[in-house]
Structure formats: C-alpha cells, structure tokens
C-alpha cells in the first residue's frame, strides 16, 4: 500500500510541475541554456540526480548548531543559510528552488534556542505573500524534522511528511512561496503548543528577514496553516501572534484536525490502534526546550520498563514506527507507569497539559480570520475538543469559519479539505473573509480535479488516488494498523 501512495502522489506531479504560468522563450530565440524547471543554476541542475549516499541527519549536521553568541540575536534572526535540493520521498528531486534557514527562537522557559525552516519557491512566485506550512511530523525524533525529510538523500521514515509534501505542491502551483519550519525546536519536542507557536512565528520572521534574497517584498503577507500535529503549531501561533509577534503581517490561519486539549486526546486514543502517537507526545513534553525540568523527576520515578522503552522509541523513530509499536497499548498499564489512572491527578503533569490547551485565556484569542476544519469520525483527534475551542474563540470575539467534513476520517479529512483550504487562503490574502463566526457541514468526500483550474488538476488527481487508497473515513488505514501495517 505504501508503494501505491507513493505512485499516486508522485506520478501526477511529474507533469504538474512542468506546467508554467507563462511560456518560456524558444531555443531559437534564447542564447542562454536555462536549467530545467526554474532552478537557479547549472549547479542546481546537476544536483538533481538520485543521491549516491544519504545526507547527514540533523543530530550530526553542523548546520543545526547555532553560532557562538546567537543568544543576543532577536527572535527570528537568520543565523545560517544554505541552498538544498528538495525531493519526494528522499529519492525523486522536486524541481523547485529550496533554501534552509537556521533561526533564533524561544524555549518554553524563555531561553534562546535555534531551529530550521525550509523555504520552497516556485516559478513566478507572488512577491507580496507566502505560506507558513506546519508539517505534521508528530514525533520527538529530529530525524523526522521537515528540514531533513524534505531533502534529497534523506532516509524516509516519515510517510506523513511525504504525504504533506503533496499538499505543499498545491500551494506552490498556486504561486505561493512556502516555508515549512521545524517548529518543535532543536530537540523535536512534539506537542508543547507554546513552543511550537513561537517556533512558527519566529520562522515567519526569519522568512521575512531573508525575503529580499528570494524575491519577497518587504513586510509580505502570510497565511499560516497546519493539520493534526501541524494544527498544534498553527493554532498556537494564532493564539500567541497578538502578544508575541504582533509585527508579523498575518492575514489568516488554518487549523485542521486540531488537538486542542491534550488530556482529551490522550484519553481518546489510549488503548486504540493509534495509541502509538502517545509515547512521542509524552517524550516531547520532557524535552529540555519544553517542560523537562518540571516533568523529568516525576517520569523518572514512575516509568516502568515498558514505558521507558516506549519513550526511547518515541525519541528515536518517526510516527509510523511508533504507531505500530504501541498500537493497542495503554499509558495507564502498570508496565508503562506505576500510577495508573492517578497519573492524571499529578499536579505537575496537569499543569503542563493545561499549558498546551488552546482557548483557556482570552488574551490568546486569534485576531485574524481562522478556518478550522474537522471530521466528526476522526479516529485520532476528538471532534469535541476542536468544537469546544471554536466556541471559546467565538465567545472571545474571534473570526472563525468552522467546516465539519462529515465523510472524512483523520487523514482523509485533510485531503478532502484541500480545495476549501486554498480558497480560504486566497480570501484571507484579499481580505474578503466575512466577519464573525460561521459553521457548515460538508457531506461529500469527493474532490473535483478541475475545481482549482488546470494547473492544479494533477495534484488533486494524486490526492484523489490517496483517498481511494486510504478508504472511506480511513477504513483501509485503520484496518491495516490492526494487521500491523502502516500503509
């Protein structure tokens, strides 16, 4: 099934990425040989070959190490830069210009840290706007960082990132430059929302600061989007934007399949076939840039051998491996930890989980239009948490468009929403999103491949193939997990 997804995603794009917005000069009238597909130099063109060896992982790549004295730099300052070759699945070069920036951001305790954002620039990119796309890497291992997974020569262990790279193509083919930050920070802290929110906002600042080098105007508009784990990042970026980064010219936010309440998510998936998200989530809270100083004494005391093994896997493997390894298991089992259900009565753990619950504080209400979307039969993230967040934000005066994709599951919900997401993005940039709050239900799970024009038809066709592979409401995926198969 993994091969089917790969073929469905990549083959349509082989033609899609060759459809320019305008015709190039014919060879008879062009004295200069141009590298293919808009890459900037002959060096770039020669780089577009199947890699002979794997690239260095983030843990061993000096690019990720901030220079001495970076602590005095402002949040969003660019510390390093480099050109890279983007790819599908680490093997197939993507014919787009790609840059990476190491930038300064902020840990939970306020101390300076550094992380990376990856910028993808299409042919004929719009100069006054860009997209901050928060990939759902859903892991506490730096090997799963988008900055690594999206590069040619990476060891592809995270099919989630590979699927989302297809969604990124839809934005690129719409003319948007796209930046995807490693918003979990230098130690890949999965689920601490405030850390992710600051990582996103400072990543946007870094792109703005670097913008003139890639053709962006000064103070460009930005729309921030994320699904599932990526919605932790986009939701918290929207929440912290008014106080942490009001300088950013944010025009809209999209948050789909939103894990608004971590306690609710834990109880919802524990013991199910998708319980494997939990070890990585708990490990993320224990990271130094997150809440390690507060939680490590507790976990060191109560973790049983099975819990130690699960958390170790959560910090060394990407989501697919973790999901299969912990499927059907429970964090309340005595082989995981010794407190049982009393774990949820621990004041330090509950304080930390409340810190990552969206919508509790009125002063953290988004001030730009938000599109939230969710499927009521989502098998990973409970619909009720997202719906409660919608109500709280609306009570606080936010502008929220909430879409209920009744025919979707967790993964299919992201795919079904692509057309609406792109339309909302365009409206947010133009300032035409209606005020106030509104909700609607979409009953159909079909995608019209021509809904967004001919240039995006191959991408939508690829997404349609993914829908067929996953099955209605993710049934094929869930059944596969039950049989020990991810995809």
Q: List pLDDT tens digits, range 146-200.
A: 999 999 888 766 566 667 888 999 999 999 999 999 999 999 999 999 999 999 9
- Which residue has 């947010």 as its token pair? 428
What digits encode the pLDDT tens for the residues 56-106?
A: 999 999 999 999 999 999 999 999 999 999 987 666 777 899 999 999 999
What digits encode the pLDDT tens for the residues 127-143?
A: 999 999 999 999 999 99
Percent of the chain with pLDDT over 70: 85
pLDDT of residue 158: 58
- Domain at 2-262+357-482: CATH architecture: 3-Layer(aba) Sandwich (3.40)
Query: Is the predicted pLDDT of residue 49 greater than 90, yes or no?
Result: no
User: What is 269-355's CATH topology?
Assistant: 434 Repressor (Amino-terminal Domain) (1.10.260)
β-bridge mates for residue 157, sequence order:
none
pLDDT of residue 231: 98
CA atoms lying within 13 Å on the CB side of residue 346: 21
Say if residues 281 and 307 touch (Cβ distance below 8 Å).
no
Pairwise CA distance, residues 380 & 264, whole Å: 11
Say if residues 208 and 76 touch (Cβ distance below 8 Å).
yes
Tokens of 10: 């990549």
Which pLDDT band, with edges at 50, 70 and 90, does 121 fall under? very high
What sign results for the dihedral spanned by CA atoms 477, 487, 225, 315? Answer: positive
Q: H/E/C letters for each residue in 10-77?
A: HHHHHHHCCCCCCCCCCHHHCCCCCCHHHCCCHHHHHHCCCCCCCCCCHHHCHHHCCCCCHHHCCCCC
> Which residues are marked as active site?
228, 378, 410
What digits encode the pLDDT tens for the residues 2-20?
A: 434 444 444 455 444 433 4
Pairwise CA distance, residues 40 & 84, whole Å: 12
Average pLDDT over residues 217-245: 98
pLDDT of residue 459: 78
β-bridge mates for residue 121, sequence order:
97
Phi-psi region of 177 (alpha: psi -120 to 50; beta: other; left: phi over 0): beta
Pairwise CA distance, residues 34 & 4, whole Å: 34
Task: Tell me whether domains 2-262+357-482 and 269-355 share a fold.
Answer: no
Q: Where are the domains of the chain?
A: 2-262+357-482, 269-355
Pairwise CA distance, residues 434 & 343, whole Å: 44
What sign results for the dihedral spanned by CA atoms 337, 338, 343, 349? Answer: negative
Instruction: Phi first, then psi: give them for residue 65, nearest 5 degrees.
Output: -90, 120
Say if residues 89 and 10 touch (Cβ distance below 8 Å).
yes
Say if residues 215 and 149 touch (Cβ distance below 8 Å).
no
pLDDT of residue 456: 77
**pTM for the whole structure:** 0.89
């Amino acid at each position: 099934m993994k091969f089917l997804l790969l073929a469905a995603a990549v083959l349509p794009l082989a033609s899609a990425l060759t459809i320019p917005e305008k015709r190039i000069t014919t060879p008879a009238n062009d004295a200069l040989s141009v590298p293919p597909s808009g890459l900037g130099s002959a060096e770039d063109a020669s780089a577009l070959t199947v890699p002979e060896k794997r690239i260095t992982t983030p843990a061993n790549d000096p690019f990720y190490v901030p220079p001495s004295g970076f602590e005095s730099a402002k949040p969003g300052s660019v510390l390093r830069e480099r050109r890279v070759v983007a790819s599908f699945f680490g093997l197939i070069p993507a014919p787009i210009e790609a840059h990476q920036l190491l930038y300064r951001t902020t840990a939970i305790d306020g101390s300076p840290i550094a992380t990376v954002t990856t910028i993808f620039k299409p042919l004929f990119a719009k100069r006054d706007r860009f997209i901050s796309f928060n990939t759902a890497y859903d892991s506490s291992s730096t090997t799963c960082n988008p900055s690594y997974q999206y590069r040619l020569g990476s060891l592809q262990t995270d099919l989630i990132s590979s699927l989302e790279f297809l969604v990124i193509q839809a934005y690129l083919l719409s003319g948007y430059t796209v930046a995807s930050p490693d918003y979990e920070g230098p130690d890949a802290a999965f689920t601490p929302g405030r850390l992710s929110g600051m990582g996103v906002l400072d990543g946007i600042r870094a792109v703005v600061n670097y913008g003139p080098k890639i053709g962006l105007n000064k103070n460009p508009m930005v729309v921030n989007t994320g699904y599932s784990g990526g919605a932790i990042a986009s939701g918290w970026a929207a929440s912290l934007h008014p106080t942490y980064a009001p300088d950013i010219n944010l025009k809209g936010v999209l948050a789909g399949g939103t894990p608004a309440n971590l306690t609710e998510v834990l109880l919802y998936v524990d013991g199910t076939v998708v319980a494997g998200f939990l070890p990585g989530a708990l490990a993320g809270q224990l990271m130094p840039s997150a809440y390690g100083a507060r939680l490590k004494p507790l976990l060191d005391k109560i973790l049983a051998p099975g819990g130690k093994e699960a958390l170790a896997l959560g910090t060394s493997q990407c989501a697919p491996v973790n999901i299969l390894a912990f499927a059907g298991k429970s964090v309340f089992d005595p082989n995981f930890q010794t407190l049982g259900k009393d774990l949820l009565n621990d004041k330090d753990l509950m304080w930390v989980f409340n810190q990552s619950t969206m919508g509790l504080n009125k002063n953290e209400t988004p001030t730009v239009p938000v599109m939230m979307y969710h499927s009521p039969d989502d098998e990973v993230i409970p619909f009720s948490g997202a719906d409660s967040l919608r109500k709280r934000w609306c009570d606080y005066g936010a502008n929220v468009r909430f879409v209920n994709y009744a025919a979707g599951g967790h993964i299919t919900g992201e795919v079904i929403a692509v057309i609406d997401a792109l339309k909302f993005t365009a409206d947010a940039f133009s300032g035409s999103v209606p005020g106030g709050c509104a909700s609607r239900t979409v009953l159909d799970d079909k995608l019209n491949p021509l809904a967004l024009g001919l240039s995006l038809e191959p991408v939508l066709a690829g997404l349609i193939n993914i829908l067929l592979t996953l099955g209605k409401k993710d049934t094929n995926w869930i059944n596969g997990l039950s049989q020990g198969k991810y995809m």
